[in-house]
């Protein structure tokens, strides 16, 4: 597996996906830096994308390939805390790529230290978010390591240029020009960018694009009912069956995908200042977010729920910007965890042609009290009490109106 004479070469760890960019980068690093390239693929649920990856990496010039399976850690330590926070970027994006970058970068650092590498290289473009996410994590965990970002250095300007580079140097390209969407897959989602999607006025060609879900038109004509049980904000059962979070998400992806759930088309604001358009498939994630929120409606008091909704916006910004390993994110997570102590119970949902519809929820910590809320007068609520409350609650409005009346009467 090792090439000859690597002992005298300096080492670089490459974040390797097996895609077009990283295939080119292996050759480019060897040619321009004379590095021993150690490819590292961090498995966060890419599935079949990992098939044949070792042969591809070694044939491209890497000295070895690490495949690090961190799927369960990714779900437990990054996905679930983000779901608990309610973080959604710009009201739409469920942060699929963003959540995975910190754990990928963490593994790159671990292997770089283990191998005695002097640098870490990534294939994120100079226009993208991932360059920020990768590098902030590396700086937070191993500030002494060099970082190489070829897209900010080389003369290649497009995927077409990268394909031409492969042809020029006899490298087998992992894709064709007509299928060079920029995609990112993990257990949580699949993103699509580039080609016809770069024009916001274009409706996506979903028939040729989608891989995790179907369009609502192709979903079944009958609804699918599911029940998710949570313990302190963490999903623990699906349809009455106890399973870990990874298995729940995997199953929800399957169920949600068949019902056209979690299809998002968004023009978002990137960290670097530009707007970009992407299509995201997040079937299981969309269901988990919806179910978790339904339970919070039942279990959290008004002030906590309102403040948490405000906090979730900042949490989403931190995750999106790659600021996972920061004091603020850790502090916000501590707050979120405290709010989840009573978020325990069951949520029933109806999935139908792209829609998630509430079908009932229950919790031993429910703050809903039928005796108080019912239109039938109960012992715990006296209608007459509302009069005094309204008088005090409306007092500032009354005083203001009296002031204006007094001014107008004196004119």
307 inside domain: no
Residues 3-53 pLDDT 10s: 445 557 899 999 999 888 999 999 999 999 999 999 999 999 999 889 999
Same domain, 285 and 231: yes
Domain residue limits at 292? 190-300+343-362
CA 387/CA 404 separation, integer angstroms: 24
Q: 180 vs 19, 161, 186, 196, CA distance in Å?
A: 10, 12, 18, 11
Is 15 annotated to bind a ligand? Reply is yes
Same domain, 251 and 210: yes
User: Does residue 249 have a pLDDT over 90?
Assistant: yes
Same domain, 174 and 26: yes
Is 310 annotated to bind a ligand? Reply is no
248 inside domain: yes
Domain edge (last residue) among 157, 181, 205: 181
Domain edge (last residue) among 142, 158, 181: 181
Is 182 annotated to bind a ligand? Reply is yes
Same domain, 171 and 62: yes
CA 137/CA 124 separation, integer angstroms: 14
pLDDT band at 160 (very low <50, low <70, confident <90, very high): confident
Sign of the C-alpha dihedral computed for residues 323, 327, 328 and 333 taken in this order? positive
Average pLDDT for residues 161-183, to the nearest whole number? Answer: 80
Same domain, 221 and 163: no
Same domain, 170 and 107: yes
User: Does residue 124 have a pLDDT over 50?
Assistant: yes
Residue 40's pLDDT is what? 98
Residue 4's pLDDT is what? 45
Is 116 annotated to bind a ligand? Reply is no
Percent of the chain with pLDDT over 90: 84
321 inside domain: no
CA 236/CA 350 separation, integer angstroms: 19
User: Does residue 380 have a pLDDT over 90?
Assistant: no
Q: What b/e string do you get for 148-176 counting C-beta neighbours within 10 Å, with b at 16 or more? A: bbbbeeeebeebeebbebbeeeebebbbe
Is 276 annotated to bind a ligand? Reply is no
Is 365 annotated to bind a ligand? Reply is no
332 inside domain: no
Contacts of 309-315 spanning 24+ positions with Cβ under 8 A: 309/86, 311/85, 311/335, 311/336, 312/85, 312/86, 312/87, 312/88, 313/87, 315/82, 315/85, 315/86, 315/87
Catalytic residue of the set 21, 63, 183, 276: 21
Number of domains, the chain: 3
Residue 1's pLDDT is what? 40
Catalytic residue of the set 130, 180, 184, 363: 130
Same domain, 140 and 247: no
331 inside domain: no
Is 280 annotated to bind a ligand? Reply is yes
Token reading at 214: 């179907």
Domain edge (last residue) among 181, 199, 214: 181
- 101 as an active site residue: the answer is yes
Is 125 annotated to bind a ligand? Reply is yes
Same domain, 110 and 197: no
167 inside domain: yes
Residues 297-339 pLDDT 10s: 999 999 999 999 999 999 999 999 999 999 999 999 999 999 9
Same domain, 198 and 176: no
Same domain, 257 and 197: yes
Same domain, 229 and 350: yes
211 inside domain: yes
Average pLDDT for residues 120-127, to the nearest whole number? Answer: 94
Residue 178's pLDDT is what? 57
Residue 382's pLDDT is what? 86
For residue 363, the Cα-to-chain-centroid distance in whole angstroms is 28
- Range scoring the smallest mean pLDDT among 122-126, 338-342, 369-373: 369-373
Residue 115 and residue 14 in contact, taking contact as beta carbons nearer than 8 Å = no
Q: Which residues pair with 281 in a beta bridge?
A: 190, 263
Average pLDDT for residues 237-253, to the nearest whole number? Answer: 98
Phi, psi at 162, each rounded to 5°? -65, -40
Residue among 47, 86, 60 at smallest CA distance from 306: 86
Is 130 annotated to bind a ligand? Reply is yes
Residue 292 and residue 355 in contact, taking contact as beta carbons nearer than 8 Å = no
CATH code, 271: 3.90.1260.10
Residue 179's pLDDT is what? 61
Q: What b/e string do you get for 296-308 counting C-beta neighbours within 10 Å, with b at 16 or more? A: bebbbeeeebeeb
Average pLDDT for residues 190-216, to the nearest whole number? Answer: 95
User: Does residue 172 have a pLDDT over 70?
Assistant: yes
Catalytic residue of the set 60, 63, 85, 101: 101
Pairing of strands 275-281, 241-242: unpaired
CATH code, 11: 3.40.50.620
Residue 68's pLDDT is what? 97
Residue 2's pLDDT is what? 45
Q: 273 vs 89, 129, 321, CA distance in Å?
A: 15, 10, 12
- 182 as an active site residue: the answer is yes
Is 20 annotated to bind a ligand? Reply is yes
CA 264/CA 233 separation, integer angstroms: 24
Residue 45 and residue 186 in contact, taking contact as beta carbons nearer than 8 Å = yes
Catalytic residue of the set 164, 182, 265, 270: 182
Is 21 annotated to bind a ligand? Reply is yes
197 inside domain: yes
Same domain, 221 and 176: no
- 130 as an active site residue: the answer is yes
CA 211/CA 213 separation, integer angstroms: 6
Average pLDDT for residues 340-363, to the nearest whole number? Answer: 98
């Amino acid at each position: 597996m090792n090439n000859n004479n690597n002992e005298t070469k300096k080492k670089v760890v490459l974040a390797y996906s097996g895609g077009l960019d990283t295939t080119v980068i292996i050759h480019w690093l060897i040619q321009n830096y004379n590095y021993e390239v150690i490819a590292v693929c961090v498995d966060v649920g890419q599935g079949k994308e990992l098939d044949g990856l070792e042969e591809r990496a070694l044939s491209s010039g890497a000295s070895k390939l690490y495949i690090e399976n961190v799927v369960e850690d990714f779900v437990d330590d990054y996905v679930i805390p983000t779901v608990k926070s309610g973080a959604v970027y710009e009201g739409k994006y469920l942060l699929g790529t963003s959540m995975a970058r910190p754990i990928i970068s963490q593994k790159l650092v671990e292997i770089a230290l283990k191998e005695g590498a002097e640098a870490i290289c990534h294939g994120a473009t100079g226009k993208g978010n991932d360059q920020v996410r990768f590098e902030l994590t590396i700086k937070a965990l191993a500030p002494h390591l060099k970082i190489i970002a070829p897209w900010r250095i080389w003369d290649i300007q497009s995927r077409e240029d990268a394909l031409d580079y492969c042809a020029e140097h006899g490298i087998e390209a992992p894709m064709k020009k007509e299928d060079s969407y920029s995609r990112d897959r993990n257990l949580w989602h699949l993103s699509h960018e580039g080609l016809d999607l770069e024009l916001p006025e274009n409706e996506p060609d979903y028939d040729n694009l989608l891989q995790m879900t179907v369009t609502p038109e192709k979903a079944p004509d009958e609804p699918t009912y599911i029940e998710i049980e949570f313990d302190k904000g963490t999903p623990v059962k699906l349809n009455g069956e106890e399973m870990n979070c990874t298995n729940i998400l995997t199953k929800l992806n399957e169920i949600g995908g068949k019902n056209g759930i979690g299809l998002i088309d968004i023009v978002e604001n990137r960290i670097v200042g530009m707007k970009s358009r992407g299509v995201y498939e997040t079937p299981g994630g969309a269901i988990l977010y919806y179910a978790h929120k339904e339970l919070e409606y039942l279990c959290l008091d008004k002030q906590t729920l309102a403040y948490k909704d405000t906090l979730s916006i900042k949490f989403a910004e931190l995750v999106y910007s790659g600021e996972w390993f920061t004091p603020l994110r850790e502090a916000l997570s501590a707050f979120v965890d405290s709010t989840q102590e009573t978020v325990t119970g069951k949520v029933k949902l109806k999935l139908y042609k792209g829609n998630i519809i509430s079908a009932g929820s229950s919790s031993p910590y429910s703050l809903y009290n039928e005796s108080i809320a019912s239109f039938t007068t109960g012992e715990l609520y006296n209608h007459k009490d509302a009069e005094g409350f309204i008088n005090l609650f409306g007092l500032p409005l009354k005083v203001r109106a009296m002031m204006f009346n007094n001014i107008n009467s004196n004119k």
